[in-house]
Amino acid sequence: MSAALSGAVDLSALKARADAARQAPSKPAAAAPAGGSDAPAAGGPFVFDVTEATFQADVVERSLQVPVVVDLWAEWCGPCKQLSPVLERLANASGGAWVLAKVDVDANPRIAQLFGVQSIPTIVAIAGGQPVDAFSGAQPEPQIRQWIGALLDALRDRLPGIAAAEAAATQGDAVEEVYEEPTDPRIIAAEDALEAGDYAAAERAYQQILDVEPANEEVKAALAQVKFTARAESADPSAIGKADADPSDVEAQLAAADVQVALQQVEEAFARLINTVRGTSGDERDKVRSHLVELFGLFPSDDPRVAKARRDLASALF
């Protein structure tokens, strides 16, 4: 588990609050069944929204049968909008070997506090009523698949629901997987390199595709994610202080912006680079502009933070 989640997490506090809420005269509610609440799925048969009141039944009790992956997200979070749809699709494709519990941290801050969440998206795997693994930030789909696969392999002998769901899928009774593996050998080569942690090779593979298909938006997004992931893994948290101490150091500003995006300080990162554009010229200005545009590619095109930053960038350039 990450450092932010490495301590023992006591889920009993949420159970006590849920029990109290169910017993309150002003808000009568029937106790949830052992297999989980009857709340409708948020995005498919194995995806559901969770609140503080339903956490015990929907997460803790379900995790006695199959792993429950908790997606801590917020409406304003750009990386969340990238990661959540991938998790939802993979959960529904699993046929119930694992399930996805979505927690809006703005509406349920105590759950986020319980796990010591410092940034979102944060993903926590619960098994047997306790957290067993976690990661933060949007990850490429191949890495998510690898993480889930390792999770199932580690827990298959301990949680009976995993094998049961997999057996049902083999017999054709589970939900049909909607994800189609890429057949383009160039994409396969890029994803294989990414899974192996060879970011340079993955970057080259995606760039070769763009050289032939410059309008391929999916590959553009994948390339931006690979470049950022490679930089973020080696990012120095002290870069922000160094950049603040010397606004004229362009390389320090680029590194600080990467750290801020990784910390979900997206607007601050954009503003930093736009100010750097205003204070530079020539090749340095173009380098900063290109870096900022690359960061834009990490977020949906309709993200209001990206739209505002694009306007501010245009103003800074012209």
Q: Which of 114, 2, 11, 26 is closest to 59 using CA atoms?
A: 11
| The pLDDT of residue 275 is above 90 | yes
Q: Which of 5-9, 71-75, 95-99, 216-220 is predicted least confidently?
A: 5-9
Q: Which of 38-52, 198-212, 283-297 is predicted least confidently?
A: 38-52
Ordered by start, the domain boundaries in the chain are 3-170, 182-234, 237-318
- Name the band, by pLDDT with cuts 50, 70 and 90, for residue 180: low
Rounded mean pLDDT of the chain?
81
| pLDDT mean over 244-271 | 90
**170: phi then psi, degrees, rounded to nearest 5:** -65, -35
| The pLDDT of residue 118 is above 80 | yes
Return the higher-pLDDT residue of 40 and 126: 126
What amino acid occupies position 197?
Answer: G
| The pLDDT of residue 277 is above 80 | yes
* pTM of the predicted protein model: 0.48
Q: Which of helix, strand or coil describes residue 5? A: helix
| pLDDT mean over 96-122 | 91
Q: Enter the CATH code of domain 3-170.
A: 3.40.30.10
What amino acid occupies position 33?
Answer: P
| The pLDDT of residue 49 is above 70 | yes
Catalytic positions: 77, 80
Q: Enter the CATH code of domain 237-318.
A: 1.25.40
Q: Which of helix, strand or coil describes residue 248? A: coil
Is residue 87 within 8 Å of 139, Cβ to Cβ?
A: no
